[in-house]
Structure formats: C-alpha cells, structure tokens
C-alpha cells in the first residue's frame, strides 16, 4: 500500500514512474477515511486543494529533471494546526481563533511547497501547544494508534498519530519543551527538534518565542534528514533565524560503525519513578550503541534539577505576552460586551481553555511588579547555567543519550487532574529547549503488554544535526524498532 511507504521510498517510486503523487495522496485520504473516526488526528483538510497540488506535482514529474531542486516533489505532508498556510484555517487547537484563515504561508510551509511537497491537512494539538497529551485541544483529544485508550503525547499529538497511522508521509510540528520528541516516542516514530535558529519560526503562532522550534515527524531517520534539508536555513522574516550554512544532512547517514564516537550519559537523568520497561529498553539501546563502536562516558549536567521549574517560569511568561494579541478585536472569536474591556474579558473567558488560562495567569504573575526579578530574571540566569552545562559536556562527548520519556503512553484522562504529573512527562526533553541545542527521538523498543513504543533521545551541540543523524541512523538501521507499525497503520 502506497501510504505505508517512507518519504524516500515514495520519491524513488515516483522517479521510476511506478506511481503518481495523486495516487499517493488518494492512498492517504483512503487511510484517513478508515482510521480518523478512531484517532481524530486531523482538525481539517482540503481535499480539492490537495488534489490540485498533487496534479501539479505529477505534471512536474512528467516533465523530467526535477528531483535535485525539488526533493519532496509529490510527497503529501501535513501540518500541526499552528502554522499559517495561505487560504487555510489556523486555529491552534483553540476556540479563540475559530474562523481565522491564514493570509500568508509560514516560511516552512513556503519551503515545503518550493521543495514540491503536497501540503495538506491541519493536525490536532494541545491548545496553543500547551500540554503533553493532546487532551487540551478545544476540539477533543487525539488517540494513540497503538492503543486508542491511550494518549499520543503532546502537544503535537495529531502529528505523531497521523504519521504513525500512515495518514500522511510526514508532518511538521513545533517543539517548545518536548512537543515533537515526546509524542514521536509514544507513537513509535522519529521526531526531530532542530537547533534554535536553524529553522524559521515566521508564520508559526508563538507559544514561547525563545523556546519554540519547528521540526519534522517522519517514519525513519532518512526521511527526517530529507525534510530538514528542505526547511532549514536563514530567513530575513525571522529575527531569531541564524545565518548558518545548511550542510547536506544525507551525507551523515552512514550505516554501521560508530567507532570513535563518544556518547554522554548524564548522571542526573538517572531518576526515580522510571517505568521498568523504559529503563530496560534504554539499557538495551546503550548495549547496541556500544556494539556499534560507540564509547559511553558519564557526564554531569548539574543544573538539571532546576530545568522543569525554570521552564515553567519562562514559558508561561512568554505565553502571557504572546497570547495578549488574541483580544476579539481583529480576528477570531468575539463575544460582545458593553465596553471594550468587557468584550475582551468575555472573549478570552470563552475562547481560552483551562490549561491556557492557567499558564497565562502563572506567566502574568511572574512578570508582575515585585516578582519579575525574583522569578523571571532568576529563571533566565538558571537557563544560562543549564546551557553552559551542556556546552561543557559537549567538550567531552559528541552527543548525549537519554530516554525520551519516563513512561510509555498513559491512559486518556489518567493525568488530566494532576498538572504537575503531566508536566513531568517532559522531564527529559525540557532542557534541550532551554539550552537551544538539537535533539531527536528514535524508536528503541516496545512494552510487552500492551505493545507500546518507547523512545531513545539523542542530543547534540548547537548545529550538530549531522551528528544526530549519524548516531541515530546507525542505531536505527541495526535494530528492528523503526519497522514496527501500529495496529492502525
């Protein structure tokens, strides 16, 4: 079945004229018709526009030479509902943006289109990317294709579930504290969080501007490299975009030996409360990496214990500022009142969900007079220490390896009433965003009963994506886990 192919496999078939982009798209739409009723990965999709894009791709393929300039030509790729795509709704999983249609393309969307991708579909997410389970969406939760009684992770749960269930060949998500890597791990696929500044954020609706980063969900590491190659690079529209060269990431995809590669094991990540099967899968992954020639070195990240507290000061503070633009005046939901203040209050009261309100209140508090220095400024200082910890560790090792999550996917509603336990789902992923480094999650095992995926997280220095791909690809190709498919795939 076409929808079960990877991006690389599909482009190979397209090149050999063994199938068309239209056929690949129809395979995805057919799969959506079969499984969407069980998953709720998508919030919306425009079949007519997708078919138009696929027809254009097929005409380009028929014209001859194209693949070097347009590496994703004809590949259906979906978007988290946080990216602007001209002429399509962008709701961020929130009622406050109901009815809003994007007037322009986000830079990453424009680059996908320039690479020839068929960009279709809006994927479900925690409202404004605030959550770890996709239960905070105003339009209902997405479910895990491995076990529909469980969550797919978050906030990009729709992306992870859709790729895992073969509803699309790849998806773009955003990662503020683990929102790509965590759901990728829980759904058994690859999730990449690039270095901050490598991929443009222009047209990404902001949650926490200094933490947000755009990255791909794919079925394997080769696809991750292919998509990143197409979306990375400097963008004058984004003041945080860095003018760093973009190497050919595909050259890093060497199989076999990791001889000479030093991998760090942070002693602070050996925490209590880990699921025993996650611990066993991680230890097995370490043995596999050493069998490939890698050397394991214990490293210290001494400020790790402050990462969660630091994140949950900085992220809500930035969110409270970013979300102030949603006021019912210019676009989206509007609930009338007798004065502008009453209209604004009613609109936000009806438009924002409980988790978003919680974080806005927390963020406004830590930025308020008398608390700004005690909380926000101090958190920024600790953030600098966390980044320095990583940079010092990377002087000793090429990459760092950890579990992606402390547990497999938990049951729907299991942690909804306990925000602290929900926040701790991202305990291994948060520091990567605070430090601005890159990280990837790759499948590293399945629990016994029920069969649920687990992920191995690999972290590398800023702009160390080639190192990530080398280590992850060698591990992936020497293990069977990336070939395992969910029951709904």
Given a cut of 70, whether residue 18 has pLDDT beyond it is: yes
Nearest CA to 381 out of 321, 434, 322 is that of: 434
Catalytically annotated residue among 41, 132, 179, 224: 179
What residue ranges define each of the domains in the chain, with the CATH number in brackets?
A: 2-259 (3.90.1300.10)
Section 258-281 average pLDDT:
93
Residue 265: HSE in the Cβ half-sphere, 13 Å Cα cutoff: 15
Q: Map tokens 């069980």 to a residue.
A: 38
pLDDT tens for each residue of 209-238: 999 999 999 999 999 999 999 999 999 999
Range of weakest confidence among 40-44, 153-157, 369-373: 369-373
Section 361-370 average pLDDT:
94
Please list the residues that pair with 89 across neighbouring strands: 101
Is position 284 annotated as part of the catalytic site? no
Q: What pLDDT, on a 0 to 100 scale, did the predictor assign at position 417?
A: 79
Strand order across the beta sheet in which 295-299 lies: 42-44, 118-123, 76-80, 170-175, 213-218, 190-193, 438-446, 453-460, 399-403, 262-266, 295-299
Radius of gyration over every alpha carbon of the chain, rounded to an integer in angstroms:
21
Q: How many whole angstroms separate alpha carbon 80 and alpha carbon 159?
A: 6
Q: What pLDDT, on a 0 to 100 scale, did the predictor assign at position 188?
A: 98
- DSSP characters for 31-50? HHHHHHHHH--EEE--HHHH
Alpha carbon 84 to its chain's center: 16
Range of weakest confidence among 297-301, 424-428, 465-469: 424-428
Given a cut of 80, whether residue 400 has pLDDT beyond it is: yes
Catalytically annotated residue among 155, 230, 431, 441: 155
Given a cut of 70, whether residue 93 has pLDDT beyond it is: yes
Given a cut of 90, whether residue 254 has pLDDT beyond it is: no
Section 323-345 average pLDDT:
93
Percent of the chain with pLDDT over 90: 93
- When pLDDT is cut at 50, 70 and 90, the band that residue 379 belongs to is very high
Catalytically annotated residue among 20, 21, 41, 80: 80
Please list the residues that pair with 273 across neighbouring strands: none
Q: What pLDDT, on a 0 to 100 scale, did the predictor assign at position 303?
A: 97
Q: Map tokens 């029951």 to a residue.
A: 487
How high is the mean pLDDT of the chain?
Answer: 96
Section 73-87 average pLDDT:
98
Number of residues assigned to the chain: 489
Q: How many whole angstroms separate alpha carbon 323 and alpha carbon 153?
A: 23
H or E element at residue 353: none
Q: What pLDDT, on a 0 to 100 scale, did the predictor assign at position 133?
A: 97
Q: What pLDDT, on a 0 to 100 scale, did the predictor assign at position 420?
A: 73
Q: What pLDDT, on a 0 to 100 scale, did the predictor assign at position 65?
A: 62
CB 170 within 8 A of CB 409: no
Q: How many whole angstroms separate alpha carbon 120 and alpha carbon 68?
A: 23
Section 249-262 average pLDDT:
91
For residue 350, CA distances in Å to 223, 332, 335, 345 come to 40, 12, 8, 9
Given a cut of 80, whether residue 336 has pLDDT beyond it is: yes
Percent of the chain with pLDDT over 70: 100
Is position 44 annotated as part of the catalytic site? no
Section 113-127 average pLDDT:
98
Given a cut of 90, whether residue 421 has pLDDT beyond it is: no
pLDDT tens for each residue of 131-164: 999 999 999 999 999 999 999 999 999 999 999 9
Q: What pLDDT, on a 0 to 100 scale, did the predictor assign at position 469?
A: 98
Tokens encoding 191:
């999730």
CB contact set of 89 (below 8 Å; sequence gap of 6+): 43, 44, 81, 99, 100, 101, 102, 122
Is position 179 annotated as part of the catalytic site? yes
Contacts by residues 96-99 (CB-CB < 8 Å, ≥ 24 positions apart) = 96/326, 96/328, 96/332, 96/333, 96/347, 96/348, 96/350, 96/351, 96/352, 97/326, 97/331, 97/332, 97/333, 97/351, 98/332, 98/333, 98/351, 99/331, 99/332, 99/333
């Amino acid at each position: 079945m076409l929808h079960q192919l990877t991006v690389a496999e599909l482009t190979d078939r397209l090149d050999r004229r063994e199938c068309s982009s239209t056929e690949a798209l129809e395979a995805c739409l057919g799969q959506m018709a079969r499984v969407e009723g069980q998953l709720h990965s998508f919030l919306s999709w425009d079949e007519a526009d997708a078919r138009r894009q696929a027809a254009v791709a097929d005409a380009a393929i028929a014209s001859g030479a194209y693949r070097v300039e347009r590496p994703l030509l004809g590949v259906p790729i979906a978007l988290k509902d946080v990216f602007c795509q001209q002429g399509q709704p962008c709701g961020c999983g929130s009622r406050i943006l109901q009815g809003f249609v994007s007037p322009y393309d986000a830079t990453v969307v424009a680059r996908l289109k320039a690479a020839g991708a068929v960009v279709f579909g809006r994927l479900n997410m925690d409202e404004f990317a605030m959550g770890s389970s996709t239960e905070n969406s105003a339009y209902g939760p997405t479910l895990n294709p491995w076990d529909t009684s469980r969550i797919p992770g978050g906030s990009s749960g729709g992306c992870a579930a859709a790729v895992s269930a073969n509803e699309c060949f790849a998806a773009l998500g955003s990662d503020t504290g683990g929102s790509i890597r965590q759901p990728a791990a829980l759904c058994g696929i690859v999730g990449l969080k690039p270095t901050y500044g490598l991929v443009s954020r222009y047209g990404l609706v902001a949650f926490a501007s200094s933490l947000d980063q755009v990255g791909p969900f794919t079925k394997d590491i080769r696809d991750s490299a292919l998509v990143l190659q197409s979306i990375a690079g400097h963008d004058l529209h984004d003041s945080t975009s860095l003018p760093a060269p973009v190497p050919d990431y595909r050259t890093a995809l060497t199989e076999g030996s990791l001889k000479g590669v030093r991998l760090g094991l942070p002693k602070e990540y050996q925490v209590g409360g880990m699921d025993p099967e996650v611990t066993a899968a991680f230890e097995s992954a370490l043995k596999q990496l050493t069998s490939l020639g890698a050397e394991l070195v214990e490293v210290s990240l001494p400020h790790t214990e402050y990462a969660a507290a630091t994140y949950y000061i900085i992220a809500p503070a930035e969110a409270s500022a970013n979300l102030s633009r949603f006021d019912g005046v210019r676009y989206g939901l509007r609930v009338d009142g007798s004065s502008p203040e009453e209209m604004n209050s009613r609109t936000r009261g009806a438009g924002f969900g409980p988790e978003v309100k919680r974080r806005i209140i927390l963020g406004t508090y830590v930025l308020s007079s008398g608390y700004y220095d005690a909380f926000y400024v101090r958190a920024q200082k600790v953030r600098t220490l966390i980044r320095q910890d990583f940079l010092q560790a990377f002087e000793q090792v090429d990459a760092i390896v950890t579990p992606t999550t402390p547990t497999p996917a938990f049951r729907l509603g299991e942690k909804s009433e306990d925000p602290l336990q929900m926040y701790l789902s991202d305990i291994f992923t948060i520091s990567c965003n605070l430090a601005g480094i890159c990280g990837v999650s790759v499948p590293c095992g399945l629990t016994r009963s029920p069969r649920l995926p687990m992920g191995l997280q690999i972290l590398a220095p800023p702009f160390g994506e080639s190192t990530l791909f080398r280590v992850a690809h060698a591990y992936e190709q020497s293990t069977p886990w990336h070939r395992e498919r969910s029951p709904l795939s």
